[in-house]
């Protein structure tokens, strides 16, 4: 069974501060995806990382995939209240495991103005 652990579970920061969310596993994934979910809505894909060591930037968000493709991090620079939400990482299994996603437990981020 593939498991993904996210930390921290909850993060409360002031506007302008930086934050990092971690996603760790003992399993290898063919890709690692990050989603953001607003209350009452489904998750919305932010980014997919595929190659070990890969770094992707999306405005103030930086995503990194570990060299061994077992872990990932999401870093937000100069957080804004609009960044508030539930951030979910999800791993796509290697081909033999099928196409299903394994989700982490989520990190709830609150950015106070």
Interface with another protein (CB under 8 A): 6, 30-31, 33, 35, 40-45, 48, 50, 88, 90, 92, 95, 98-106, 108
- In whole angstroms, the minimum distance from the beta carbon of 46 to another protein comes to 9
Q: How far is the C-alpha of 69 from the C-alpha of 31, rounded, in Å?
A: 8
Closest contact distance (angstroms) between CB of 78 and another protein is 26
44 or 55: CB nearest another protein: 44
- Distance of closest approach, residue 15 Cβ to another protein, in angstroms: 24
Say which residues have a Cβ less than 8 Å from residue 2's Cβ, sequence separation at least 6. Answer: 25, 27, 29, 91, 93, 97, 102
Nearer to another protein, 3 or 78 (CB): 3
54: nearest Cα among 65, 41, 44: 65
């Amino acid at each position: 069974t593939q498991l993904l652990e996210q930390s921290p579970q909850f993060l409360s920061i002031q506007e302008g501060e930086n934050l990092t969310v971690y996603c760790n596993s003992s399993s290898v994934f063919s890709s690692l995806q990050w989603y953001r979910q607003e209350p009452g809505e489904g998750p919305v894909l932010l980014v997919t990382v595929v190659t070990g060591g890969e770094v992707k930037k999306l405005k103030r968000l930086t995503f990194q995939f570990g060299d061994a493709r077992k872990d990932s991090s999401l870093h937000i620079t100069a957080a804004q209240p609009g960044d508030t939400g539930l951030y979910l990482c999800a791993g796509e299994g290697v081909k033999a495991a099928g196409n299903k996603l394994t989700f982490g437990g989520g990190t709830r981020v609150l950015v106070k103005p």
